[in-house]
A and B are shown apart, each in its own frame.
Chain A
Amino acid sequence: MPEVHSIPSDAVVRLVRRHQDEVWRYVRYLGASAELADDLVQDAFLQVLRAPFVERSDKETAGWLRTVVRNAFVRSFRRPPFEQAELDAIESNWNTFATDDGGDESLRHLRACVDQLTGRVRDVVRWHYEERCSRSTIGERLGMGDDGVKSLLRRTRTGLRNCIERRRAEGA
């Protein structure tokens, strides 16, 4: 008969709430759907909590959880969704974005940058991300083709990225 241990629930809740946002964002960034991200993050915590894991610092715990969830995400595909050689770029981008707060500050900057958008660019962001319109629907509204909408969205994201960096540099 297996030995039953009792893990203090407040400690578990504290650990999960401390890190869940960052790990969930990370696996969404890798390409997981929201539903898959929920499952993978839950499994990552279970794996950590059932392993002989020693909590030393938030940074180390976050790193461990990211590795666990990344491996689980890769295993959910028959063929790896990205090359091993891309790992450095993936981690480097993430570390720039997440800094020490799991990405909260970057998201605040992003919200401020989105609020500054005007005209067609503001419309395209709203239609694509809020109303979840397809590119063809947006194209109909703007009189553009699919590729045109795709380029516009990408240019918009590049502009937003620059805006975040600018705000970060200004200490806004």
Chain B
Amino acid sequence: MNDWDDRLLDASLQELHGSRPPDLSSRVLNALQEGSRGPLPVLRSPSTVGPVGGGGGMRWWSLAALLLAAVTLGFAVALGAFANDASPLQPQGASSFPVEVTVRSGRLECVVHDQVVAQATPERPAVFPIATGTRLHGKRASSFQLGPFGSLVVHEDTLLEVRSMEFTKQHGMVAATSLTLAVVAGVVTWQVMARTEAANAGQIVRMEAQNDDMVALRAENQRLKDALAAATVENQTLHASTVQRDPVVLQKPPEPEPVEAPKPNEPAVAVAATFDDAKYADLLAKLDWKTMGTVTAEMGPMLAELVAAMQKEGAELPMDLLLKIQKLNMKLIDQVPALLESGLPGFGPNGSYTHPLVVGNTLASTLDAAGQPLTAAQKQSIGGLVRAFAAESQAIAEASREYDLEQLLAETEMKDRFFREMGGVLQPEQSGVIFPPGAGTHDGSSLFSSGLVTQIHGQPVAAKDAADFARVASSKLAEQLGLDEAGANQVRAVLARGVSAPELWQTRGDGAENNLHMMRSGRTHAALRAQIAWMKQIQQTVALTPEQQQKLAKMKNVLVPVPR
């Protein structure tokens, strides 16, 4: 291998690890408008470029949608069928890939070159042509499944742009393996394993396709459900025809075993909220409290089980359990768009989800589902707590602060008090339902904990000590804030001092932290306090441009030291 070969491998490895070519089309367009014009270049006309013509005929993605219905795995399709060279609306520079989008609530548009080329609604799933530059626009808060990559929830007017997509080739078929999205505007929440993450404008979302085993399992599961539904219908038809033919002689057959047939779009049974608030009456009416309670009662022990399973030496991810949790969590995530639209105060989507009003009602319906309903006296006590803490929540959201993360700190400390006081009102049996054994040891392991909020914003940094943390974290910050080398070195020194407190380094990361990013309870909170202090130090000691200062103030992620 000669020296140039070596350089080529070096540059390629850098690209694989994050140094990616950006989309320069906007920069070039802007520069063209600004600069003096010369003679016009002769560019090929779009209509003459690709084999599929422009306006009149069937669009290639329509063809893709038809073909897609014929394949089993939805996203594993022959690349040749779709890697069309160029229709007028197809993003250039990368092969497009059809991805099925199923919207559960709201509406999602696929935008290519400023034109809406497809849209998906709860009534009409759609196939989006995904390629570098494709944009996904949620005009209002929406919840949707993006092909094999998982489930997302976007705030109102959120714009996502596809930065890259990776593929593997197996058995002659091409399957998408990962998708990188840039959040251009708004906020997006998505689910990874058993946790939920969020990203804001300017941040990058990387989603991995579920592996083949899980996809095959899901396909097989769906096939069995379909077969069961068909058999049930056939059974009922035969039964009805027999009764009609000989209604007198026929004895009533034994009741069939209860089966769970698929019930798409089954309307939710309206259950009134236990604790109300006139300001949020619409929200309270929209949320499906029965589902919230049933799912929460079922999911709580599973989360504790998950964390316990990951504590064992050399533990592997319990995929069956993760699948069950994901399935249940989807039902909770479906409620998020309504929460976001309601304007309930809170730091990010889980901030709204853990608002005292939502928590109080979820607690009541969870206890109902578990057969341990609140007594009238308990309802009165918890109603008082909900009102008091909702007022405090509003005050925290409205307060003016130097750093966004200061709101997260104030909110989580308030919610810790709320959960503590609310827990004090419960009987031991009820407490066992709401706080099952093992729940709350890690962020995200309890649905009644401020850890739900911190889990989304915590970004673990594995390090052996403060200096090691400072090296990795300063590199991330330098990239995020756009610092030069001198600035990055100054930040590194501040960080090394800022995270030197022994309590940050006492306990090594365990299986749940390293594999599921579910931090030990209290770790993210301690890191958050330290971070606000070192952010102030950076502001005072490092020469930042106004733009860098603003980026620092708007930071929403907590860099959490996880001792190796």
Contacts and interface: CB of A to CB of B under 8 A. Distances in A.
Interface stretch (B22-30, B206-214, B274-282, B442-450): B22-30
B377 interface: no
B471 A133 contact: yes
B94 interface: yes
Contacts of B166: 108, 111
A49 B28 contact: yes
Interface in A29-70: 29-31, 34, 37-38, 41-42, 45-46, 48-55
For this complex, into which size category does the number of interface residues on chain A fall?
35 or more
A89 to B, nearest CB: 5
Given A25-B11, A25-B15, A46-B32, A5 B37 contact: yes
B402 interface: no
A42 B42 CA distance: 19
Interface residues of B, number: 57
Contacts of A108: 166-168
B15 A17 contact: no
Contacts of B15: 25, 28, 107
A106 B188 CA distance: 32
A120 interface: no
Contacts of A48: 41
Given A89-B2, A97-B8, A11 B35 contact: no
A49 B475 CA distance: 36
A7 B59 CA distance: 26
A31 B37 contact: no
Interface in B1-56: 1-2, 4-19, 21-25, 27-29, 31-32, 35-46, 49
B92 interface: yes
A7 B475 contact: no
B184 to A, nearest CB: 16
A contact patch SS: helix
A46 B28 contact: yes
Contact of B93 (A5, A21, A41, A103): A21
Nearest to B18: A130
B78 interface: no
Nearest to B86: A14
A142 B6 CA distance: 23
User: Which residue among A12, A17, A20, A106 has the maximum number of chain B CB atoms within 10 Å of its CB?
Assistant: A17
Interface of A: 2-5, 7-21, 24-25, 28-31, 34, 37-38, 41-42, 45-46, 48-55, 86, 89-90, 93-94, 97, 103-104, 106-108, 110-112, 114, 125, 129-133, 137, 154, 157-158, 160-161, 172
Contacts of A125: 13
A9 B29 contact: yes
Contacts of B91: 17
A143 to B, nearest CB: 15
Nearest to A43: B31
A28 B13 contact: no
A97 to B, nearest CB: 6
Given A42-B31, A157-B1, A161-B1, A5 B40 contact: yes
User: Which residue among B31, B39, B44 has the maximum number of chain A CB atoms within 10 Å of its CB?
Assistant: B44
Contact of A18 (B9, B93, B168): B93
Contacts of A12: 25, 28-29, 32, 43
A144 to B, nearest CB: 18
B200 interface: no
Given A13-B92, A28-B15, A131-B472, A93 B5 contact: yes
B417 interface: no
A21 B25 CA distance: 11
B41 A54 contact: yes
Contact of B32 (A7, A97, A154): A7
B52 to A, nearest CB: 15
Interface in B491-538: none
Nearest to A52: B39
